[in-house]
Amino acid sequence: MDKDKKKPRGGRFSGNLSNTAEKISSSIHFDRRLYEHDIRGSIAHAIMLNRIGILSGQELALIRKGLSGIKKEIEAGKFRFSESIEDIHMNIEAELIRRIGDAGKKLHTARSRNDQIALDMRLYLRDESDATHELLLKLVRVLVEIAEKELDVIMPGYTHLQVAQPVRFSHHMLCYAWGFLRDGKRLAAVSRECGKLPLGSGACAGLNYPVDREFVSKELGFDEIIPNSMDAVSDRDFILDFLYFAAACGVRLSRLAEEIVLWSSSEFGFVRLSDSVTTGSSIMPQKRNPDIAELIRGKSGRLAGNLMSLLTTLKGLPMTYNRDFQEDKERLFDSIDTIKLSLAGMAEMLATMTINPERMRQAVYKNFSTATDIADYLTLKGVPFRESHGIVGSVVRFCEETGIDFFNLKARDFKKFSDIFEDDIIDIVNPEKSVERKLSAGSTSKKEVLAQIKALKKLIKR
């Protein structure tokens, strides 16, 4: 019998899996990326087994040397993975036994693949969360740098995609910076949750060996052990937490990508994307398509789908381990790869983007962007706000009906609608002066935007 075809779990079975069942069962084509963390966990486990007298010093040395050799071969691309041995754990264990003999057969003492995979996933996700966090911070730095550089650029702020009020372009960029920092807090929480050790729980009930879980926890850099063995092998909350982070962050990236698509269009012309992040058309020679922004926007759907997929997988499972858990990895791996690529792509796109301040300025001088300023002007002079609102609405209607530009009205024109208006109304209408009238904390005034930049820089360093 071909040794690769023999069932890896011993004498209970007289036959082999069918080809179809083998294909359904196999996960090595995607979980091989866990090799480093599986080996790291196995070495810590072996050291602990030596400490409690199950492995001799010689056996421990053989296991460490064998696992180190396997790791080097995998990293060099020379290791032959076998689909018929199902997963990364069994591939590594089978090769270890082939290399060092009976000592390798002792490695799985006092552990189950149930707590082994829970360990691997926590180790892996902790590392990936930290790497993702670096990409997230890089994007926030780019947003802050743009805000600082373009501090005096004024653009329309929108609600319902209609011109609402003048804002600083930097204020708009910082809106996203704050949001991505919130995503970073979610990601930091994932990393903390991953720092809880499941190994030493066995299949579900615990172990008949005096394992030292606290030692293994410290050896692997964990903060604590999971106190319930059933919870240790069945918990996938930490994966859901990452998938939620990725979905939420993906939605934020999508919203920013959508604005870049709009802003880079000929109708807006607020920004110009670099050639490195745009593509042409196969038929229309003039096109500069914002493909990278569109693809980042599109990938957010996958991130949301991965979260929903795992939630659906988990919702009807009894305690503790079920083979359905194999489905968590592809969802997680895809979300990790997708969010990391999207963050890197967005940072590059923004860093190489050119701003067109004049087009933004022109847009502010349309669609009555300072109407609220005029209403506030009247209110500060004693007119109840609802009356002020109505007076300014009448001014807007007059402009629309006569075709007179809102910003070309004279003081005497305003006085026709209320004797409260004075000559200083012309300054109130000016969009470029509007932003500096904002007094509230967190507003778009220069003072408040600079305060945001300072605060964000401090948080990034932290």
8 A C-beta contact, residue 43 and residue 54: no
Determine which helix (DSSP H) or strand (DSSP E) holds 278, and give its type and residue range. none
346-382 in b/e burial notation, b at 16+ Cβ within 10 A?
Answer: bbbbbbebebbeeebbebbbeebbbbbbbbbbbbeee
Write the burial class of residue 387 (CB in 10 Å: 0-12 exposed, 13-18 middle, 19+ buried): middle
Q: Which two tokens stand for residue 68?
A: 């180190």
**Bond from prior residue into 320 cis (ω within 30 degrees of 0):** yes
Q: For residues 342 and 249, what is the distance between their CA atoms, to the nearest angstrom?
A: 10
Please confirm, yes or no, whether 281 is among the known catalytic residues.
yes
Please tell me which residue in 68, 265, 274, 281 is annotated as part of the active site: 281
Give the pair of three-digit tokens for residue 44: 């810590």
C-beta separation of 315 from 324 below 8 A: no
> Beta strands of 160-231 (E only): which ranges?
162-168, 196-197, 224-225
Catalytic position from the list 14, 18, 160, 282: 160
Four-point Cα dihedral 154, 155, 157, 162, nearest 10: 150
Give the position of tokens 């009906």.
Answer: 401
Q: Contacts by 268-272 with C-beta closer than 8 Å and gap 24+?
A: 268/359, 268/363, 269/356, 269/359, 270/155, 270/355, 270/356, 270/359, 270/360, 270/363, 271/353, 271/354, 271/355, 271/356, 272/353, 272/354, 272/356
Concerning whether 335 is annotated as a catalytic residue, the answer is no
Give the residue numbers marked as catalytic: 160, 281
